[in-house]
Structure 1
Amino acid sequence: MKFFTALIALTSVAFAAPSSQPQQDESSKRAAWPNGPFVTQGRYIRDTTGKNLTYAGTNWPGHNDVMFPEGLQYQSIEFIVQKIKSIGMNAVRLTFAIQMIDEIYSNGGKDITIQQALVQALGQANGAKILGQILAKNPRFTASTTRLQVFDAVAEELSKQQILIHLDNHISKGMWCCSADDGNTWFGDRYFSVANWTRGLAYMADNGKSWPGLVSIGLRNELREPSNNQAVKNTYNWQTWYTYMKQAAQAVNNANKDLLIFLSGLNYDTFINPVFEGTALTPGNGRFSFNDFPGYANKLVLEIHNYETGINSCSSLQNNLYSRGFKAMSSSAVNVFPVMLTEFGFAMDATTYRNTYASCLSTYLPSQKAGWTIWVLAGSYYIRSGRQDYDEDWGMLNHDWSNWRQPAYINGPFTSMVRGTLN
């Protein structure tokens, strides 16, 4: 990787050893990856060598009903990570549910086993069946392996293959996300306890200290206005957002000072304008200030999502991305940040990737050097919205996770987008 090459070059200049000294061996060089902890400087993320870097990756869900990473009944962790690595992606957005951490706390600090998790989500017969398939494909596990140990194993392999890990709190209650009436929409909603949320973020940030590849965490996926909770709906505003984002960011930084912290916006994270424009955080008069994040203001990154899949104008899509988020990377922003498009995606069929939306993103994202993670890696889910072995037609991988669902796109425009972003 280029930033690795830069590290070696910098090291050899700054700390040149006498010629009689043996050169650093390859294992020692590799141990420097990922050259963290990362910090931000203006619109850039930088590693400890001063190299600018970005993310070009995918989403690997682990937040659904079973509450550990998907696909392991079909393929080994090693196989899946190698597929990610094979086309040059350097990052994974790994999602989790707060419910998993809640259950650890309520169980005296002990996580439940994957056997129990599968039976609870799929029923006794199917739970046992899927467990057997997971153990066959991943013999390191047993029925007593816990959900968090699966996350640890995925993180271990991602780190081994030098893929950056971005943790994402996707939801509170483990289930498919997202809708306006799912109880996970906004602070104080049915399943969205602020205290449990901040506790869960801190727990995962602390647990991730053992993951060499963990470099960042997203505080919350797709905050949105509830349709069925008027009391919570009344607090849906930027002032409330700021109060709780500061609280959560502090909890994460207290738990793990190395992590970049991603702030997501409103309306399913489609815009975050007041933060970079420096306008009032309504209904109050307060404004975003880096001073409100003492000691870690250089750890903040903005994230947005975009699913304008039916758009027929590339310039309109570019303008929307810029005005709702990417402007934060420009000198015209009052508050300048790095920005990540942590979700975009579309059906992986024979034609959709040729449409304006996908084609435009393939060129625009590399031109902006904007980090991104496509939704979604998963070819199928253990269970989604009550349907077991759910086929994900937006998945990069096919149903059994064995190959790309749409090779023409993955091996063509998508791989070019990866290279363009990282080069």
Structure 2
Amino acid sequence: MAIGRILASALSGRNRSDSNSGSRAAKSERHVHWSQSVDEYQYPSDADEHLPLFSELESMGSPDGAGRMGMNKQRTRKSQSRKLWRRSHRLRPRCTMAMLFMLIPIFFYLSILWIKEQDLDAKWRPDRDSLLFGRKPLPAPLERTWISSYKLPLRTQGRNIVDAEGHRFKLSSINWYGASDELFVPGGLDVQHRSAIAETIKKLGFNSVRLPYADELVMKNPIIEPRLVLANPDLEGLHAMDVFEAVTTALTDAGLAVIINNHITRATWCCGADPCDAGWANDHLGPMCRVKQTEEEWIQHWESVMERFVHNPLVIGADLRNEVRGLWGTMPWSKWAAAAEKCGNRLLKMKSDWLIVVEGTESANDVSGARERPVQLDVDNRLVYSAHGYKWSGWGSWEGRFAQRSYRSFVKTMRHNWAYLLEGDVAPVWFGELGAPNDPSVGDVHYWKNLLKYLKSIDADFGYWALNPRKPKDNARESYSLMHDDWITPVLDYRMKDLLELMRQ
């Protein structure tokens, strides 16, 4: 017993001594750590930290043994931390160099892109043919392109829209907007009578009009402000739906075919980043949408609009929804195709002669989903697909926007996205929106020339955006217009020249 107490006392003294020396060593190590570089400092090896006394104490079952084991684990953790610290600091220079090598090509690519953008933004100087075209009177339209030269109703046959006798009717259309915007009325009714505007459209050579509306117009159906229909006094005091019908009737009375288009949910300029207007229904978004509608309400709005035109044979179809889209591909084609079938079949129950137009996803750029999942309607030979494309289309692709694409790259995308349907004689595709400004940049004209060259090569149906010289909001100038502010004088430039060539094929 006495010997045990003596040994315990001796060991206890050694423990205190080791503890004090360990504390001094730790302070010394910390001092060295902050004062020396990692290459100069020699950390103690793991073997130095394991003392024979630990095993001796553990075998004796002394209470100090547990404390020693705890200190041993703590020192082991410190040793591991030092190793990790050394390893990370050795790797840091390598990581920095790797990041630099990665950033150099990115910087080089962005520099080239910036230079190209500067070139594309430069003002375009009209070529000789375009200048000469603008100095000549507009040629008379071809009667063979008018719908009055065809036997109704229309239907589809392979890649074409044909009449009752199988003759192709090529859609050479123009968009006349306004009923889809915040004023709820087609533009220009304050400047010219609707019949005069219709006759001007016909003189330009177009045989059909795409007439957009907003769901909010159907929901509210407000009385149109008198100032917006000054040149049409018979429309004063009428509701928006009545004015929309009157404009449609004026177009068909002039011998123009009309395709009604559901453009947007909330009446405003389309198309922004607002998810509430990205699709045909927005009830899944809850209270964030000011103008809400379900899929069933969307279809009911269609029925309310089209019931007015059941007995008008020149209202030839319904373009179900403008530029369906989702953030980063969150609008699958299969979802849209199912909704289009449901709506299209409901409309065909009202009148089986109507053409049902289904646009692609990704803002109508992409109809490639129809390869594996075609839209199937209850009435045969009534389906027309539709695509859109502007100079900014194609963004997000490694090949860039259409404004900068080579013709070969542009055609490759067109064939993949929608033209395969024409090449395979599967279904008609109406290129329902294309357009460019009357004072274009080099990039504008590059896109336009590529597109028109391709549309001519495949003899495509098309719809130009737009007729209007002014936008509803703040009466802002519409640079894509084919009309001057008087709504009867055409803008004769490179666009009209190419469009006439496409019409007359």
Matched, 1:155 2:248: yes
Q: 1:143-197: CA deviations, max 9, x gaps?
A: x122222222222221122111011100111111112225111254233421211
Matched, 1:2 2:144: yes
Unaligned 5+ runs, structure 2: 1-142, 283-288, 392-401
Equivalent in the alignment of 2:336: 241
Aligned match of 1:396 in 464, 482, 489? 482
Q: Which amino acid aligns with 2:374?
A: F
Equivalent in the alignment of 2:164: 48
Q: Which amino acid aligns with 1:216?
A: G
What's the TM-score, normalizing by structure 2? 0.63
Aligned match of 2:192 in 75, 99, 108? 75
Change (3 A) 1:194 1:242: same
Equivalent in the alignment of 1:273: 368
Report deviation, 1:345: 0.9
Change (3 A) 1:158 1:72: same
Equivalent in the alignment of 2:218: 101
Report deviation, 1:314: 2.4
Q: 1:66-92: CA deviations, max 9, x gaps?
A: 122112112221221122111211111
Matches of 1:315 and 1:161, distance apart in 2: 41
Report SS of the residue matched to 2:467.
coil
Q: 1:258-289: CA deviations, max 9, x gaps?
A: 210011111101101121x22xxxxxxxx336
Q: 1:105-138: CA deviations, max 9, x gaps?
A: xxxxxx43213xxxxxxxxxxxx6x24xx22x12
Matches of 1:259 and 1:390, distance apart in 2: 35
Q: Which amino acid aligns with 1:205?
A: M
Matches of 2:336 and 2:496, distance apart in 1: 40
The question of whether the paired residues in 1 share the 8 Å contact of 2:459 and 2:502 is answered with no
Aligned match of 1:139 in 233, 240, 243? 233
The question of whether the paired residues in 2 share the 8 Å contact of 1:380 and 1:400 is answered with no
The question of whether the paired residues in 1 share the 8 Å contact of 2:340 and 2:375 is answered with no
Equivalent in the alignment of 1:254: 349
Report deviation, 1:226: 4.5
Q: 1:206-250: CA deviations, max 9, x gaps?
A: 2122433210111100111148xxxxx96x323322321111111
Moved more, 192-201 or 87-96: 192-201
Matched, 1:300 2:383: yes
Q: Which runs of 4+ in 1 moved over 6 A?
A: none
The question of whether the paired residues in 1 share the 8 Å contact of 2:320 and 2:344 is answered with yes
Report SS of the residue matched to 1:297.
coil
1:281-320 alignment, distance < 5 Å: 287-288=373-374, 290=376, 293-294=377-378, 296-308=379-391, 310-320=403-413
Equivalent in the alignment of 1:348: 438
Q: Which amino acid aligns with 1:416?
A: E
The question of whether the paired residues in 2 share the 8 Å contact of 1:261 and 1:300 is answered with yes
Report SS of the residue matched to 1:268.
helix
Q: Which amino acid aligns with 1:413?
A: D
The question of whether the paired residues in 1 share the 8 Å contact of 2:433 and 2:462 is answered with yes
Change (3 A) 1:226 1:313: closer
Report SS of the residue matched to 1:68.
coil
The question of whether the paired residues in 2 share the 8 Å contact of 1:80 and 1:401 is answered with yes
Q: 1:368-392: CA deviations, max 9, x gaps?
A: 1211101111111232xxxx21211
Asked which structure has the greater RCO (Cα within 8 Å, sep 6+), the reply is 1
Report deviation, 1:354: 8.0
Equivalent in the alignment of 2:323: 222
Matches of 2:338 and 2:168, distance apart in 1: 31
Alpha-carbon RMSD across the aligned residues, in angstroms, is 2.4
What's the TM-score, normalizing by structure 1? 0.75
The question of whether the paired residues in 1 share the 8 Å contact of 2:218 and 2:241 is answered with no
Matches of 1:140 and 1:196, distance apart in 2: 31
Report SS of the residue matched to 1:361.
helix
Aligned match of 2:420 in 323, 327, 348? 327
The question of whether the paired residues in 2 share the 8 Å contact of 1:375 and 1:395 is answered with yes
Equivalent in the alignment of 1:7: none
Matches of 2:271 and 2:404, distance apart in 1: 22
Equivalent in the alignment of 1:35: 151
Equivalent in the alignment of 1:24: none
The question of whether the paired residues in 2 share the 8 Å contact of 1:391 and 1:399 is answered with no
Matches of 2:145 and 2:434, distance apart in 1: 26
Equivalent in the alignment of 1:417: 502
Report SS of the residue matched to 1:240.
helix
Q: Which amino acid aligns with 1:170?
A: H
Matches of 1:66 and 1:39, distance apart in 2: 35
Matches of 2:273 and 2:344, distance apart in 1: 25
Matches of 1:419 and 1:224, distance apart in 2: 33
The question of whether the paired residues in 2 share the 8 Å contact of 1:93 and 1:168 is answered with yes
Q: Which amino acid aligns with 1:328?
A: L
Matched, 1:208 2:293: no
Matched, 1:57 2:173: yes
Q: Which amino acid aligns with 2:415?
A: Y
Matches of 1:242 and 1:301, distance apart in 2: 13
Matches of 2:255 and 2:189, distance apart in 1: 20
Higher helix share: 2
